[in-house]
Structure 1
Amino acid sequence: MANIIVDKTFKFAQEIIIVYLHLKEKGHYKLAEQLVKSGTSIGANVEEAQAAHSKLDFVAKLTISNKEARETRYWLKLLDKNEFLSDHPSFPYLKSEIEEIILLLNSIIKKSRENLK
């Protein structure tokens, strides 16, 4: 059975890596590092949540993932300039997908917290 958040965050991480390589080619090493760390961490934490030992652990992992997603959104906003990424073909996807991922994570976390009660 497909897991939407797992699939979305994995595909997102793949695109982040492509953009990371693009930024490095342009000499923006520090920005590239920041983006790839937070952008790939989203899916890594979602994946860890799949093996959580409790509902509380599941919520904790997804909360970390949500924080990483918000940080990634920050870096994408910062990089929305021609000399960085605005002309990159993956950029529109990344900007819209990060918003969707954040909304989805918020929803999963909220429902999971309600189920804890």
Structure 2
Amino acid sequence: MDKVELKKRTKKFATDIIRFVEELPRFRSIDILTHQLLRSSTSVGANYRSACRGKSTADFINKIVIVEEEADESIYWLELIEESGLVNSSTLPGLKKEANELTAIFTAIGKTAKENQKLNNKK
């Protein structure tokens, strides 16, 4: 998957979350959880775009770590929404699956970038 495809995928993840949140009932606890979910899920794509414009390898790595953390945080909020029992949505499993896949992708990208940086520093 290239940068363009991954940018599209992270944007789709954010828009899917936005649509999901807008379909939920309004309760104080759900509002708090979905606010956090919206922040973390939209941050994935925004920070990935920023990482792609990194000024150096170290800058890229730092930003990719943030992307990974935000994707993982999205999983957490989705799990809380699901496990609270306040929401019964057939959309949740797909969103959790995508959040897990994005976390794995960005974890691998970060690991590869760190390994490449170490190799380049040894030269």
In the superposition, the TM-score normalised over structure 1's length comes to 0.87
Q: Which residue identity is paired with 1:26? A: R
Shift of 1:2: 4.6
Aligned to 1:55: 57
Aligned to 1:83: 86
Name the SS of the counterpart of 1:79 in structure 2. Answer: helix
- Please tell me whether the aligned partners of residues 34 and 77 of structure 2 are also in contact (alpha carbons under 8 angstroms): no
- The structure whose residues are more often helix, as a share, is 2
- Please tell me whether the aligned partners of residues 15 and 90 of structure 1 are also in contact (alpha carbons under 8 angstroms): no
Q: Distance in 1 between matches of 2:6 and 2:109?
A: 9
In the superposition, the TM-score normalised over structure 2's length comes to 0.83
Residues matched between the structures, number: 114
- Please tell me whether the aligned partners of residues 45 and 64 of structure 1 are also in contact (alpha carbons under 8 angstroms): yes
Q: Distance in 1 between matches of 2:111 and 2:40?
A: 22
Once the two structures are superposed, residues 85-111 of structure 1 have per-residue CA deviations (whole angstroms, 9 ceiling, x without a partner) of: xx3242221011111101100110011
Name the SS of the counterpart of 1:83 in structure 2. Answer: coil
Aligned to 2:121: none
Structure 1 stretch displaced more, 26-35 or 38-47: 26-35
Where structure 2 has 5 or more consecutive residues not aligned to the other structure, the ranges are 119-123
Q: Distance in 2 between matches of 1:51 and 1:80?
A: 35
Superposition pairs of residues 91-110 of structure 1, within 5 angstroms: 91-110=92-111
Aligned to 2:113: 112
Please provide the CA RMSD for this pair.
Answer: 1.7
Where structure 1 has 5 or more consecutive residues not aligned to the other structure, the ranges are none
- Percent identity between matched residues is 35
